[in-house]
Structure 1
Amino acid sequence: MTTNNKENMSTQNLAIDDTEDRSAITNPEPALAAAAQAGQSDASISPNEEENKKSISTMTGHVKDAAQFGRVAVIYGGSSNERSVSLDSGAAVLQALQNQGVDATHFDPKHQDITELRDYDRVFNVLHGRGGEDGLLQGVLQWFDIPQTGSGVLASALGMDKVRTKQLWQGCGLSTAPFSLLTADTDWQQVVNMLGLPLIIKPVHEGSSIGMTKVNHLDELPAAYATAVQCGDAVMAERWITGREFTIVIIDDEAYPVIRLEPADITNFYDFEAKYNRNDTSYYIPCGLSAADEKHLQELSLAAFRAVDAKGWGRIDAMQDEAGNFWLLEINTVPGMTSHSLVPMAAKARGMDFDTLCWHILSQTV
């Protein structure tokens, strides 16, 4: 069992590892390649496989010529705490687009004047964290009238604020893990009385699990708060959900095959190290849910995505507790695109390689 992170597709799920336990992956890089092989060799895959391939061709087919994109700025880097991840993601996207003849150039707002974007025809945004994922860049591009990948100002600003996202979901009747805002004057005992133990302490405006701490005992709360508040004034405590952890990739208002995540240390959470630096996290496609439960989780995630007004592509993180209930955790409107990232993994299970995925996301701007 793991704990807090971040249309029925079950017949389209692919086992993307050919070891004895066909569903477990401990290193995502070879898993991506294995998915392609599984898609060619597994005769038990959905009888609609050929139709799926055709639908992918149709999705990417409305832009036939790279020249239609014009001059493209792939924005990555920036000055947020997620700069290192953004550099990796952006470099991969840039290479994928250039491989296909797109006139794409790296643009790093840490080192370049943002007004230089006026020289480009469109933007592929891979700027994780503050400045690129919170509505600021989206507002600039909207002001400049430059087409951009992903969500607009509203969804980006909401999605970067974990508390307001959860408040919105609650207002829409969507299940999300109970939480409480924290300050230096918070009565820690009252928080424990309300949410129980363990807890997960999170900065409200950070991604990639930066500044997060699992708290098992009351006396650990002040130190966890001190760690989180270094990332910004807004800090939250969230009830620790014991159970299975899932992520749901959404592209073009379609939920892709659900991925189950399992850190090597199953008592911990899917933290920064597990996401980007370790090779011992396991990923499962098929995710192990029944067809009905996977469909329900996909529908819940789509409702959560739409409630925030997210567009184009993104990712929802969720938990299933030991009673079988699903709990939304958060939304990511500019997901990672590194070798450890989940969007390429889900796309591969859907039959789409990384280059095609990047082309398709960019084509949403045309």
Structure 2
Amino acid sequence: MNILLIAGGWSSEREVSLNGAKGIHEALLRLGHTVTFFDPQHSLDGLLTVARSHDFAFINLHGSPGEDGMVQAMLASVKCPFQGSCAVGSFIALNKSVSKQVFRSHGLPTPEWEFLAKRPSEDWRPKFSYPVFIKSNTGGSSLGLCRVASEAELAETLDTLFATESELIVEPLVEGVEVTCGVLGEEALPPVLIEPADGAAFFDYDAKYRPGGAREICPAPLPEEITAQVQDFALKAHKALGLRGYSRTDFIYSPDGSLHLLEVNTLPGMTATSLLPQEAAAVGLSFDDLIARLIELGLAAE
């Protein structure tokens, strides 16, 4: 097939997107496809024209555009099939404050939150005890994420984040370890347990993308009943948001055995060593197999 590989864009996650696209490009070629690379940052106005001349689009964008559903809506308008979720599901999943409402309405456990549509007044204080996490409402890759340990850090953190982000959410600290679980088609994959290295307080951007920044264990060494619950919640979140194809859901697993759903990623990282490809490998799917499966699912959704 003639495949349009869409990556780059103009979000803060541009470099993550481009790095992942290299491996996807190579896999597509190994699978026998012809590949055209398209970066919306340079030529967004030409997307519909070039999409019409391709059999399929493989989207590897992170943040907005990409995870916000805009590119998916554009492709759908010219009937160019693509992998992953439709525009509506993508838009809802990217917005943390909205998706958390969906989780709650479906009985899925997610931490309390406070939505900030603009920089609050100087006398504003979080409704949670310190430390709290303040992060972008629509960002990913742990960019725009800060841990605030005291009131003394609050004003500077808000100023820093609102300088680049238009919306934030505040969440309380939930003690525990991070676990992530992918969904492929209609099945949940084996979860991954994530342990930040070097005493990092949480799984931040550096821990995610610096070699050796975190220890990722797949399948996660969790009690059998917890693994089953993680997979059940990941699949339920995927369906509650109306997603298709694949997704990856992040959790905190607390010492008391409880699970806390943080967010769902509709375009998870896709380097050969990213979390979802690790999970696919645990069930016998190579990186090339995973790419082929995502194309198959995308074509079947049309």
Alignment match of 1:332 (pick from 257, 261, 265)? 265
How much has 1:218 moved relative to structure 2? 1.5
Instruction: Name the stretch that deviates more: 222-231 or 254-263.
Output: 222-231
Q: Does 1:76 align with 2:11?
A: no
Aligned length: 295
**Bigger radius of gyration:** 1
Question: Superposition pairs for residues 203-242 of structure 1, below 5 Å?
Answer: 203-242=136-175
Letter in 1 for 2:253: Q
The answer as to whether partners of 1:275 and 1:340 remain within 8 angstroms in 2 is no
- Percent same amino acid among aligned pairs? 32
The answer as to whether partners of 2:119 and 2:162 remain within 8 angstroms in 1 is no
The answer as to whether partners of 1:203 and 1:231 remain within 8 angstroms in 2 is no
Question: Superposition pairs for residues 1-366 of structure 1, below 5 Å?
Answer: 70-112=1-43, 113-115=46-48, 116-182=50-116, 183-186=118-121, 190-191=125-126, 194-366=127-299
Report the secondary structure of 1:365's partner residue. Answer: helix
Letter in 1 for 2:83: T
Please give the per-residue CA displacement for 1:300-334, whole angstroms capped at 9, x wherever unaligned: 11111111111101100000122111000001000
Instruction: Name the stretch that deviates more: 259-268 or 304-313.
Output: 259-268
Please give the alpha-carbon distance, in whole angstroms, between the structure 2 residues aligned to 1:188 and 1:216.
Answer: 17
The answer as to whether partners of 2:144 and 2:165 remain within 8 angstroms in 1 is no
How much has 1:260 moved relative to structure 2? 0.3
Report the secondary structure of 2:244's partner residue. Answer: coil
Runs of 4+ in 1 over 6 A off after TM superposition: none
Please give the alpha-carbon distance, in whole angstroms, between the structure 2 residues aligned to 1:308 and 1:352.
Answer: 26
Please give the alpha-carbon distance, in whole angstroms, between the structure 1 residues aligned to 2:204 and 2:17.
Answer: 16
Please give the alpha-carbon distance, in whole angstroms, between the structure 2 residues aligned to 1:338 and 1:154.
Answer: 26
TM normalised by structure 2 equals: 0.93
Please give the alpha-carbon distance, in whole angstroms, between the structure 2 residues aligned to 1:348 and 1:93.
Answer: 16
Instruction: Name the stretch that deviates more: 261-270 or 97-106.
Output: 261-270
Letter in 2 for 1:79: W
- RMSD across aligned positions (CA): 1.5
Partner of 1:8: none
Please give the alpha-carbon distance, in whole angstroms, between the structure 1 residues aligned to 2:163 and 2:295.
Answer: 35
Please give the alpha-carbon distance, in whole angstroms, between the structure 2 residues aligned to 1:266 and 1:309.
Answer: 37
Q: Does 1 or 2 have the higher relative contact order (CA < 8 Å, sep 6+)? A: 1
How much has 1:181 moved relative to structure 2? 1.6
Letter in 2 for 1:262: E
TM normalised by structure 1 equals: 0.78
Instruction: Name the stretch that deviates more: 73-82 or 229-238.
Output: 229-238
Please give the alpha-carbon distance, in whole angstroms, between the structure 2 residues aligned to 1:71 and 1:259.
Answer: 34
How much has 1:184 moved relative to structure 2? 2.3
| Unmatched segments (≥5 aa) in structure 1 | 1-69
Q: Identify if the C-alpha distance between structure 1 residues 265 and 217 changes in structure 2 by more than 3 Å, giving closer, same or farther.
A: farther
| Unmatched segments (≥5 aa) in structure 2 | none
